[in-house]
Structure 1
Amino acid sequence: MQRVAVVLFNLGGPDAPDSVRPFLENLFTDPAILRVPGFVRPWLGRFIAKRRTKAASENYAILGGRSPLLELTEEQAQNLQARLNEGGEAEYRSFIAMRYWHPMSDATARAVREWGPDRVLLLPLYPQFSTTTTGSSIIAWEEAAARAGLAVPTRILCCYHSDPSFAAGTAAAVRKAHDAARAGLAPEVPLRILFSAHGLPESIVKRGDPYQWQVEQTVAAVVGQLGIEGLDHAICYQSRVTPQKWIGPSTEAELERAAHDKAAVLVCPIAFVSEHSETLVELDVEYREEAERLGVPGYFRVPAQNSDPAFIRALRDLVLRTEADARPLCSFAGGRQCPKRFGDCPHARLKARARELA
């Protein structure tokens, strides 16, 4: 029986108060995140991390001093592994590779090599591709696999932004939260869904990163699955961390607009599939307080997927379809999905690399 290692990519998070600073240093010294000349990046990244440590530590203190992301990702990995092994056609084992805190790619690549798979499948827990998330994780994995001497056929699933199963599972969670919020509001109070995604500097998108376009595709797919006539909804972006111009509108701006319109809001974290500080603190605490300060007549939130059975089924189906595809790089629909203007789509980069080698 063939052995398949499924490597789940995620961000990672500090596992103790004294891990916050090194976690932030790993984040802000990543070339995919801090796009400055290499000789400046280590110094500037550590400087930014130092400046942000106090605020980040306060956020993690609300969560008990650590991120819950590893445990939630482990649960997702275990559930996915169980579902994949129901068929018996291959033996699947799930592994986790975090980008900025343990277990990171080097340790995971060694563990995968020791297990001895026949092939590897890389599965991002980022539905939408960005050079700053999935792209960075792929680079880190390839370097780690080379260092570990892991040389087996590898397939990459780059994105599943509007995969029908993923969209349907997300829509079901949104519909449940929408119905509960609607029941708790007076009939005359309008309810607006805010699909909130992590932001990006505008310059990264202008250079060809497809993330914003893919977020829009996710929202369109979910709204289509909801089928609520006249649904009031908007896309917004949270978590700005640098002074440069970021894509918008911001979640703060949408809260201000809702207050002006006297509309309650239901916030859906559309680019996160696990609860962590940006949902449990930023959305549940900081933005809730801001909404109350602004006079928004109701503030509600859709939970992240975590190990929701519909999400795990969608991941299983994505893995099996990618396994059945002969291409080393696949989207949820097989080939490239991004319009040609997005030169940082991984399919475009793979094609450019092939031309260089030809």
Structure 2
Amino acid sequence: MTMLTPKRTAVVLFNLGGPDEPDAIRPFLFNLFYDPSIIGAPTPIRFLLANFIARRREKPAREIYGLIGGKSPLLENTQAQAAALDAVLNADGQGEVRSFIAMRYWHPMSTETAAAVKEFAPDLVVLLPLYPQWSTTTSASSLRVWREAAETVGLKAETRVVCCYPTEPGFVAASANLIRPAYEEASKHGAPRVLFSAHGLPKRVVAAGDPYQQQCERTAQAIASALDIPGLDWVNCYQSRVGPLEWIGPSTDAEIRRAGQDKVPILIVPIAFVSEHSETLVEIEIEYRHLAQHEGVPHFARVPTVGTEPAFIGGLARLVRQSMECDRFMCSQTKGRLCPTGFSGCPQRAN
């Protein structure tokens, strides 16, 4: 049975969050590493580890955020996406829709957002992670905390979840549209190589059944196909490695070194980030650009995140509308399961 279009819908956009001032950097880091989805140790040990890591990483993190104004731009970027999404969803007059933002590791966090949603008194809540690819460390973590927050504030509205959309046509089209002019410019320096870069994960997380890497590979393949460039040279790679564990690969920095050896221009395309933040504005734009110059890469370009590109926002709107009309609690871009059998971390495994 398909549900009727609700009169009032709250769309909750999940994102990572980021420090909004230098003094917020240490507590932000603590919140990040205290997440049991990031460090799976028992609570007392995880608390000590999170404190230790936050203290140790505060100074380099301050230096990183200092390069982009002392804070993360993620909230402002997400607010712009929320406003753009509301404009599309409210244009057809099918009930009132209002987007809210729930950050995982800094404000506005789930409890304060859940209270605001309760005050809005929606008929339906649609939870929409701004992570196109599902991971137990991102979307699943945000969903777990949201459930706790909703229970805490007494929010009882009917709820739908958009779990993942790694090849959603609007997302893919927006990415391809941003790549084409950068590719044309890079072509003046040789045959470009496109590096589809995503935030990495420890191998043991993927080995435990997390579908993130498989979905990132699907995203890269879909965008490469949409570009429709004969003989396109591309690779899916991973960045932002921290800690001593072995991570999935190939690593983005290793691919930059290989491009230097091959003397080919490169474009780095963020495929798991949909908003600009430190991983794009510092790690890619500054650190990887410097590495490319050092390794003799003839041309380097960072392709922007999809942000408020109309095709991407239109894709998000379609996902929300699909959830509003769906009788399933959790829907992927195709409503059903996207992950092959065997991925125990697939959100649709018991749907």
Q: CA deviation at 1:217?
A: 0.5
Q: CA deviation at 1:297?
A: 0.9
Task: Give the counterpart letter for 1:284 in structure 2.
Answer: E
> Which whole-Å CA distance do the structure 1 matches of 2:247 and 2:104 have between them?
22
Q: Which ranges in structure 2 are unaligned for 5 or more consecutive residues?
A: 1-5
Task: Give the counterpart letter for 2:287 in structure 1.
Answer: E
Q: CA deviation at 1:181?
A: 2.3
What residue number does 2:204 align with?
Answer: 203
Once the two structures are superposed, the pairs formed by residues 1-358 of structure 1 within 5 Å of their partners are 2-182=7-187, 185-186=188-189, 189-348=190-349, 350-351=350-351
> Which whole-Å CA distance do the structure 2 matches of 1:206 and 1:49 have between them?
27
Q: CA deviation at 1:324?
A: 1.6
Secondary structure of the 1:39 match is: helix
Q: Deviating runs (4+, > 6 A) in structure 1?
A: none
Task: Give the counterpart letter for 1:324 in structure 2.
Answer: E
Deviations 1:107-139 (A, max 9, x none): 000000001000100001000000111010000
Deviations 1:310-350 (A, max 9, x none): 111111111111222110000000101101111011112x4
C-alpha contact (below 8 Å) 1:237/1:250 kept by paired residues: yes
Q: CA deviation at 1:242?
A: 1.3
Q: CA deviation at 1:301?
A: 1.1
Task: State the aligned residue count.
Answer: 346
C-alpha contact (below 8 Å) 1:191/1:265 kept by paired residues: yes
Task: Give the counterpart letter for 1:248 in structure 2.
Answer: G
> Which whole-Å CA distance do the structure 2 matches of 1:101 and 1:39 have between them?
22
What residue number does 2:3 align with?
Answer: none
Q: Which ranges in structure 1 are unaligned for 5 or more consecutive residues?
A: 352-358
What residue number does 1:355 align with?
Answer: none
Task: Give the counterpart letter for 2:137 in structure 1.
Answer: T
What's the RMSD between the two structures over aligned residues?
1.0
What residue number does 1:354 align with?
Answer: none
Task: Give the counterpart letter for 2:211 in structure 1.
Answer: P
Q: CA deviation at 1:173?
A: 1.2
Deviations 1:130-174 (A, max 9, x none): 011101000010000000100011000000001122212211111
Secondary structure of the 2:269 match is: strand
Task: Give the counterpart letter for 1:52 in structure 2.
Answer: R
C-alpha contact (below 8 Å) 1:190/1:262 kept by paired residues: no
User: Which has the higher mean CA deviation after the structures are superposed, 221-230 or 203-212?
Assistant: 221-230
